[in-house]
Structure 1
Amino acid sequence: MSSQEIVSPFMKSSYSGGGSANECVEVARTGSGGRAVRDSKSPDAGTQFYTPGEWAAFVAGVKTGEFAS
């Protein structure tokens, strides 16, 4: 199994609105335990891949408010 093999369906946040507010990303699990991320408006435009460590660091940053403005 490739570390970039997508092994789950892409999921969009339940916080994503509908209609014109439907600007969100979708996330899926990869074979290595990392994540694949794509734009929900343009799923064919490309996918970014993150290792398990990169994804854990991102989630930790979100939880601590590191990205808040």
Structure 2
Amino acid sequence: WGWCKYCYQQAPKNTFDGVKKATYVAFDACPIDVICFFINRSWRFMSPSENAYHVGLTGKAATWAVCKQKGHCSVS
């Protein structure tokens, strides 16, 4: 979002149509590599909770495991 926000702020916007056009131009300006990088990075933070459920933990046990292991890449 930071990439798109920067591109959006640099674009001239005088009318509402200009605002809409600048928004689409900013979204299209973001390279796919950057989008994939941030998707993978955010997946790393979501992964421990999903892994806790995959190994059979539920409810409070999963919450405890995620809190305990939040600095690591997986729940052991």
TM-score, normalised to structure 1, is 0.26
User: In terms of Rg, which structure is larger?
Assistant: 2
Larger strand proportion of the pair:
1
**TM-score, L = length of structure 2:** 0.25
